[in-house]
Chains A and B, each alone.
Chain A
Amino acid sequence: MNTDILIEYLPLYKDALFLTLRIGWQGIFLAFVIGLIGSAILHFKIPVLKSIVGVHIELFRNTPLLVQLFFIYFALPKVGIQVTAETCGKLGLGLLGGAYMIETFRSGLEAIPTIQTESALSLGMNDFQTLWHVILPQAVSISVPGLLANVIFLLKETSVFSTISLMDLMFTAKDLIGMYAKTIECLFLLVVFYLIMLLPISIIGAIVERRMRYGQFGD
């Protein structure tokens, strides 16, 4: 392995990492919002909306992100909706992630005994106050491991962004290999940069998990 080449390529990978993180976090934020709203709809069993959420989950969980991105990127312009590659990436990640987040939040919400809801209602709180102040904080704390797994999964899924010519880590590696054929160096850097991105999340996540489970409720 040629270290000069590694050093030469480093800035390219660094730029790609920032792009991946930027699109990744915005997509994941969207996924969180979709997850919260969708799981609340399922929690309250709101008619019609409940069915839409169900369709969303099945649609996005059971098709590959690659196909979803192609659909957003190439099919939407046909009906007059133009999206940039970056928006397409965020949207795709958000919609896919949303389906997973809804399910994760929902399992957390279902784990809280009904009588906690009744206790809050009997204090005169309305349905939303009960969800927001009483049920959701407990549900999120239970869901942390699942949410964390989703975040890592979604950041890894960004590797298919290269197919809609976003210059993410995967794109950069493939591009460099195609041009200069330094396959080993390029793949080595690719692995290292994915680890740089994801390992801290794993570690910080594990700490958060412990705090949420044991710290917050008093030991």
Chain B
Amino acid sequence: MSELLKVTHLYKEFGTNVVLKDLNLSVNKGEVVVIIGPSGCGKSTFLRCLNGLEEIQSGVITVDGLPVEAGKRDITKLRQKIGMVFQSYELFPHKTVLENCILAPIKVQKREKDDAVKEALELLDKVGLADKKDYYPRQLSGGQKQRVAIVRALLMHPEILLFDEVTAALDPEMVHEVLETMLALAKAGSTMIIVTHEMSFAEAVADRIIFLDKGEIVEETDNVFGFFEQPKTERAKKFLKTFSYEK
């Protein structure tokens, strides 16, 4: 398998607050990496660093052979290789579902409108939202908005998809429909990095689990089932325990 993303010695701080310390990560094509960890451990910040929404103080992020070092501002090329889906959907409220999907492909990649529309409709159909193409975001439920946001990211044909707690703001039933969509993507061979608090979903979708705490990788394993059964570190054990209840 070829290496798609490589992060070396990533260091990030907000003022004097060190958020990520010397993080190293390598993700192969087609791999699904799930990052879990307690609030404030730096999971979301890590994702935001990967597509340049946060400046990093040192380290190198290489995507598909294209390295971006700390202090470099030109990251639009990098961003086109990385798609991101946010917790709060962030569809553009003044544009319809279809317009949301085709805006970037037309403006950024200069694709033909007909071609972008055709692909958008195919993808919307796959997530069961083709009939909503002319709706405005505020006419949709949270789960529907999130599926549109996924389609919008997919239309840019990114090499890697980042998911930042995409179900955290959703009702349980809607969580399911969004996670189903993501599972389908994973099966289709997409490379994904997922930050989530849905442990059963993490177990089902992940090829690799990364447990992050206080800005450091505490545990990293390909043995996903094993991790949830018997984590190696005390910190992970304690964290996983907060998800189960005993009477």
Give the B-binding residues of A (Cβ under 8 A).
115-116, 118-126, 129, 133-134, 137-138, 141, 216-219
Where the two chains meet, the residues of B that have a C-beta atom closer than 8 Å to any C-beta of A are: 48, 51-53, 76, 79-80, 82-84, 86, 88, 90, 92-94, 96, 103-104, 107-109, 135-139, 152-153, 156
Q: Assess whether A138 is in contact with B51, with CB atoms less than 8 Å apart.
A: no
Q: Can you identify 16 A-B contacts, CB atoms within 8 angstroms?
A: A119-B90, A119-B92, A122-B153, A123-B79, A123-B153, A124-B79, A124-B109, A124-B156, A125-B104, A125-B107, A126-B108, A129-B107, A133-B92, A133-B103, A216-B94, A217-B138
Decide: A133 and B107 in contact? CB cutoff 8 A: yes
B83→A122 contact, CB < 8 A: yes
Known contacts being A122-B53, A122-B83, A123-B108, is A218 close to B90, with CB within 8 Å? no
A217 to B139, CA, bound (A): 9
Asked if B107 and A141 make an inter-chain contact with CB atoms under 8 angstroms apart, the answer reads: no
> Which one of B90, B96, B104 contacts A124 once the chains associate, using CB atoms below 8 Å?
B104
Give the number of A-B contacts (CB < 8 Å). Answer: 71
**Minimum C-beta distance from A117 to chain B (A):** 9
Closest Cβ–Cβ distance, residue B166 to chain A (whole Å): 13
**Dominant secondary structure of chain A at its interface with chain B:** helix
Q: Given A118-B48, A123-B152, A125-B107, 12 more contacts at CB 8 Å?
A: A116-B90, A121-B53, A122-B51, A122-B82, A123-B83, A124-B108, A125-B76, A125-B104, A125-B108, A138-B93, A217-B137, A218-B136
For B136, the chain A residues whose CB sits under 8 A away are 217-218
Q: What A residues does B104 contact at CB under 8 A?
A: 120, 123-125
Chain B positions within 8 Å of A141 at CB level:
94
Complex alpha-carbon distance, A219 and B135, angstroms = 10
- Verify A119–B94 contact, CB threshold 8 A: no
**Nearest Cβ in chain B — how far from A34, in angstroms?**
24
Q: CA separation between A134 and B88, bound complex, in Å?
A: 16
Name the A residues within 8 Å of B156 (CB-CB): 123-124
- Given A121-B53, A129-B107, A137-B94, A218-B76 contact (CB < 8 Å): no
Bound: A106/B223 CA distance, A:
52
Partner of A134, one of B52, B92, B108, B109: B92
Q: Which residue of A lies closest to B96 (CB)?
A: A218
B91's closest neighbor in chain A, by CB?
A119
Q: A85 to B88, alpha carbons, bound, how many Å?
A: 54
Nearest chain B CB to A216's CB is how many angstroms away?
6
Shortest distance between the CB of B47 and any CB in chain A (Å): 10
| B49 → A minimal CB distance (Å) | 12
A115/B90 contact (C-beta < 8 A), A123-B153, A218-B136 known: yes
Q: Across the interface, do A115 and B86 meet the contact criterion of CB distance under 8 Å?
A: yes
Q: Do B94 and A217 touch (CB < 8 A)?
A: yes
List, in ascending order, chain A residues with CB within 8 A of B153's CB: 122-123
Shortest distance from the beta carbon of A64 to any chain B beta carbon, whole Å: 38
Contact present for B103 and A218 (CB under 8 Å): no
Contact A115 B88 (CB under 8 A): yes
Contact A217 B86 (CB under 8 A): no
A124 touches B139 (CB 8 A): no
CA of A171 to CA of B202, assembled, Å: 76
Cα distance A217–B52 in the bound complex, in angstroms: 30
